[in-house]
Amino acid sequence: MNSPPIGIIMGSDSDLPTMQDAIVACEEFDILCEIGIVSAHRTPERMVDYAQQAHVRGLKVIIAGAGGAAHLPGMVAALTPLPVIGVPVISRHLQGLDSLYSIVQMPAGIPVATVAIGNARNAGLLAIQILATHDPALLEKVQEYRQSLAQIVIEKQAKLEE
Ligand code: RP5
């Protein structure tokens, strides 16, 4: 039981520039995360092992990013009782629509919470919000973050009115 609460996995190191935004979100909220390359197609046994051991090791939420025939989030969700957040990575040929459709259309019973194409930041924030349901201090930080977003809008409006 010595894992950080959030596991961030991706199908290839080529997904890392996208998934970096989830890592940054965790850093901003001082939440530890582990990062791994786990390919559903190239390392299927590793994927099975990772998913089956995740809750045993103490992980609470898994963020899984993949592009193209993006089976990683769905297969991991099928193998773990933990919540899985899927990140469709922008692909070379279909601009990530293939990734999105591969991740979002899960059958009833095996959910993957899918964020917008390329939006790993939202995946990180959603994972943090899941943790915050059992952590009042973290919940407070989430609310402060929301207030900072509102403040940005208010400042932009004020500039428009100058
Ligand atoms: C997927 O294939 C990965 O998630 C990645 O988005 C895509 C391409 O992988 P590479 O050929 O760049 O390693 O499995």
Which ipTM score applies to this complex? 0.97
What atom in ligand 1 is closest to the CA of residue 14?
12
Q: What is the CA radius of gyration of the chain?
A: 17
Residue 21 lies in a domain: yes
The reported pLDDT for the residue numbered 34 is 98
pLDDT more than 90, % of the chain: 98
pTM for the model: 0.96
Q: Single out the residue of 23, 33, 28, 81 nearest to residue 54, CA to CA.
A: 81
Residue 131 lies in a domain: yes
Number of residues in the chain? 162
Residue 73 lies in a domain: yes
CATH number for 23: 3.40.50.1970
**Two structure tokens written together for 69:** 């025939």
Q: Single out the residue of 71, 92, 95, 83 nearest to residue 10, CA to CA.
A: 71
Domain count, the chain: 1
Residue 83 lies in a domain: yes
Cα 41 → chain centroid: 20
Ligand 1: which of 12, 43, 47 to mutate, judged by most atoms within 8 Å of the beta carbon? 12
b/e code 3-29 from CB counts within 10 Å (16+ = b): bbbbbbbbbbeebbebbebbbebbeeb
Mean pLDDT of 47-58: 98
Residue 18 lies in a domain: yes
| Residue 19 near residue 87 (C-beta atoms within 8 A) | yes
Residue with the nearest Cα to atom 13 of ligand 1?
Answer: 12
Residue 16 lies in a domain: yes
Q: Single out the residue of 32, 127, 125, 33 nearest to residue 82, CA to CA.
A: 127
Query: 74 in ligand 1 pocket by Cβ < 6 Å?
Result: no
The parent domain of residue 73 ranges over 6-135
